[in-house]
Amino acid sequence: KTGVNKPELLPKEETTVIDV
Q: What is the 3-state secondary structure (H, E, C) of 6-18?
A: CCCCCCHHHHHHH
pLDDT of 14 reads: 63
User: Quick count: other Cβ atoms within 10 Å of Cβ 6?
Assistant: 10
Q: What is the pLDDT of residue 3?
A: 61
pLDDT of 1-20, one tens digit each?
556 666 666 666 665 666 55
